[in-house]
């Protein structure tokens, strides 16, 4: 059985805009797409929604909402407003979820519990709009090495605690890159039953030379992707993955050469 593959647009961000991504998915037989908001806005939300629909692609997610942490109340309010726009965009393109990257420590702050409270407050603030729009918020725990500057949401367990505080209709985005190391992963994936709203793949390279932009193609690193995908299936995930690779190396390649590789690796590991 082949599980469906989705292209996260950041994987080819230096070469293709969203229109080219949509055409590329169709050309290479990739059935899903997950745009980032910058390429979505550049193309125009309505035009993108139409072209995606015409191409018959599943929108596995919109990347990304979140970034709730800020040094002052005005900054936090602006983040919430921006999340409201993101919810509207996710609804307009029929995205299965809005992926939430929650934000790091505010500049100059060492108050990690305080930053985590800002995230929880921000999620509570936007949840009514998300529900009204029928958009599932997918809380994405990010690797602890991003805690200072990208996400104080660091583990799947922490994301599931937040889900429980927020309600039944909030989910998690499981990216193997962010969770593979977790000694508590199997237990938390069991706990995630019914909550897995997105499943992302790439790989952890040895050595890893950049904390953000040195991800590998599935199979080029040490993550047991098949094993984690299996845990997701057991947790009710229907199967499939969105390949999301932030990598200076792969960004430099021709996407028409990268996409066949993504398909090949995806079939090997999912």
Stretch of residues binding a copy of itself (CB under 8 A), selected from 10-18, 180-188, 250-258, 259-267: 180-188
Helix (H, G, I), strand (E, B) or coil at 166: helix
Task: Report, in Å, the least distance between residue 238 CB and a copy of itself.
Answer: 24
Q: Closer to a copy of itself at the Cβ: 223 or 262?
A: 223
Please tell me the distance from the alpha carbon of residue 207 to that of residue 216, in angstroms, as a whole number: 11
Residue 63 bridge partners (DSSP): 36, 99
CB 167: neighbour CB atoms within 10 A? 11
Task: Report, in Å, the least distance between residue 79 CB and a copy of itself.
Answer: 19
Please tell me the distance from the alpha carbon of residue 203 to that of residue 195, in angstroms, as a whole number: 23
Q: Closer to a copy of itself at the Cβ: 83 or 188?
A: 188
Task: Report, in Å, the least distance between residue 258 CB and a copy of itself.
Answer: 23
**Residue list 127-146, contact with a copy of itself (CB under 8 A):** 143-145
Q: Closer to a copy of itself at the Cβ: 59 or 223?
A: 223
| CA proximity to 156, closest of 170, 174, 171 | 174
Q: Closer to a copy of itself at the Cβ: 133 or 212?
A: 212
End-to-end Cα distance, the chain:
9
For residue 198, give the H/E element and its range: strand 196-201
Whether residue 34 contacts residue 63, with contact meaning beta carbons closer than 8 Å, is answered with yes
For residue 100, give the H/E element and its range: strand 98-101
Q: Is 19 in the site for a copy of itself (CB under 8 A)?
A: no
Stretch of residues binding a copy of itself (CB under 8 A), selected from 81-89, 128-136, 153-161, 232-240: 153-161
74 DSSP 8-state letter: H
User: Which positions from 94 to 113 touch a copy of itself by CB under 8 A, shown as an x/- string?
Assistant: -----------x---xxxx-
The residues binding a copy of itself (CB under 8 A) are 105, 109-112, 116, 143-145, 147-149, 154-155, 157-158, 180-184, 204, 206-208, 211, 221-224, 227
């Amino acid at each position: 059985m082949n599980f469906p593959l989705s292209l996260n647009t950041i994987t080819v961000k230096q070469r293709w805009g969203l229109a080219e991504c949509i055409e590329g998915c169709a050309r290479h037989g990739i059935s899903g797409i997950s745009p980032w908001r910058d390429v979505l806005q550049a193309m125009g939300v309505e035009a993108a929604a139409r072209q995606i629909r015409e191409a018959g692609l599943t929108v596995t997610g919109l990347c990304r909402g979140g970034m709730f942490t800020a040094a002052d109340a005005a900054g936090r309010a602006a983040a919430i407003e921006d999340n409201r726009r993101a919810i509207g965009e996710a609804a307009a393109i029929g995205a299965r979820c809005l992926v939430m990257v929650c934000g790091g420590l505010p500049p100059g702050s060492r108050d990690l519990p305080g930053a985590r409270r800002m995230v929880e407050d921000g999620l509570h603030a936007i949840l009514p709009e998300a529900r009204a729009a029928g958009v599932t918020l997918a809380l994405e725990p990010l690797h602890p090495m991003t805690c200072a500057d990208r996400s104080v949401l660091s583990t799947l367990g922490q994301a599931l605690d937040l889900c429980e505080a927020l309600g039944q209709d909030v989910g998690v985005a499981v990216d193997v890159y962010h969770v593979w190391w977790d000694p508590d992963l199997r237990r938390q994936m069991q706990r995630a039953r019914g909550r897995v709203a997105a499943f992302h793949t790439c790989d952890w390279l040895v050595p890893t030379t950049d904390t953000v932009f040195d991800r590998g193609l599935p199979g080029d690193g040490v993550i047991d992707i098949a094993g984690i995908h299996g845990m997701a299936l057991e947790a009710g995930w229907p199967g499939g993955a969105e390949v999301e690779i932030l990598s200076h190396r792969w960004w430099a390649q021709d996407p028409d050469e990268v996409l066949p590789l993504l398909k090949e690796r995806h079939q090997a590991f999912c």
